[in-house]
Amino acid sequence: MSIHKVKFCEGVPHRPAVEIPAYCRPEAAAAARRYHQDLPGYEPTPLHCLPGLAQVAKVGRVVVKDEALRFNLNAFKVLGASYAIARLLAQQLQLDGDQLNWEQLASLTKERLGQITLVTATDGNHGRAVAWAAEQLGQRAVVYLPQGAAPSRIEAIAGHGAEVIVTDSNYDDAVRLAAAQAAANGWFLVQDTAVPGYEDIPAWIMQGYTTIAAESWEQMQVLGLRPTHIFLQAGVGSLAASQVGYWQGQLAEHPPKFVVMEPEQAACFYLSAKQKDGQPHAVGGNLETIMAGLSCGEPNPLAWPLLRDYTTAFASCPDYVAAYGMRIFGNPWAGGERITAGESGAVGAGLLALLAQPTYQAWRQRLGLTQDSVVLLINSEGATDPVNYQAIVWDGKYPLTE
């Protein structure tokens, strides 16, 4: 028997809509990208066309930005972490962060600041990005993870020389612990969600993520395409909001429609939209989901206004949606590229394919998905948990039917 448990909720925009913040605009993306281009090993990640998925989804074109190949780190997170750390250290050194390259920054940090400690909480990918940045700088990193973290993600972070501490709490409590340890020890907190008095670094992280959108726009122009729809994953919402901000600025006259996707056990943006009071709302509990990178119960307050005002629909997705997407990406047909996608990276493919089923016809119409639509997806991570990847893609774990 088929199961259909994806829940949708329309956006609840305030009018006038919140202004796009400076750190998400195309001009800010240009600054972040100039910095990333100076990092060793930088090259734009590929944009793949998936004609088979387009046919199944009954749309014109589907293109996928494959962030699993970013700096050989298996995820997009390094774009935000590296840029935010550069801006943070430049601030400490009283230098213009946009004018520094990574080599100069590493040298000046050691010379003027000596040994520093960067600390963060993570579900995996962000922590590895911070650990990588600290390793490149010759500095120390301490990374807190929530309970149940996959051994492969722990090992990947530790592989960059970081001290890894697995807590007995969920992600949001791990964030609070990291912040408390930073304050107590004089460490530098590098977190991607804001709280009052801590907004610069989360904003810089979001600015770093705009490199994804800037590259995508260039690559789509080469193909003669412009997105009509963009499907975006949301954990704390920083990636999704950064992309919304960029594309609203780049295509202001005809912006794409945005669909924001979350795991059903950690769907804080879906819940916030459903409350219809314009305020962010948190989800509690252990936030258990195979989409570990999206297992966040509290919206980033910098991200919420943007997503509230510019998102067409929020989707609360059971784990089988991500598993379906992993199999779709890993088994293309009709000339498409094979994409190795982790659970958080694949949810967009799964949802787009499901929207072609009769059960979701009403939402397909609300979203305006047609044979002329051009849909942009982001594969935000590769197989960061190889054991679960094999269980899902080879063994059929989390099937579409029960």
What is the number of other CB atoms lying within 10 angstroms of the CB of residue 250? 19
Phi (first) and psi of residue 167, to 5 degrees: -90, 175
Distance of CA 294 to the CA centre of its chain: 8
Burial class (CB in 10 A: 0-12, 13-18, 19+), 200: middle
Phi (first) and psi of residue 110, to 5 degrees: -65, -40
Listed in order, strand segments (DSSP E) in 67-139 are: 117-121
Angle of helix 102-112 relative to helix 78-92, nearest 10 degrees, comes to 40
Phi (first) and psi of residue 142, to 5 degrees: -125, 125
* End-to-end C-alpha distance for the chain, whole angstroms: 6
Phi (first) and psi of residue 187, to 5 degrees: -85, 165
- Catalogue the active-site residues: 77, 123
* SS3 call for 223: coil
Q: Virtual CA dihedral for 266, 383, 319, 284, nearest 10 degrees? A: -20
Cβ atoms of 239 and 345 closer than 8 Å: no
The residues, ordered by sequence, that sit 6+ positions from 111 with a Cβ below 8 Å of its Cβ are none
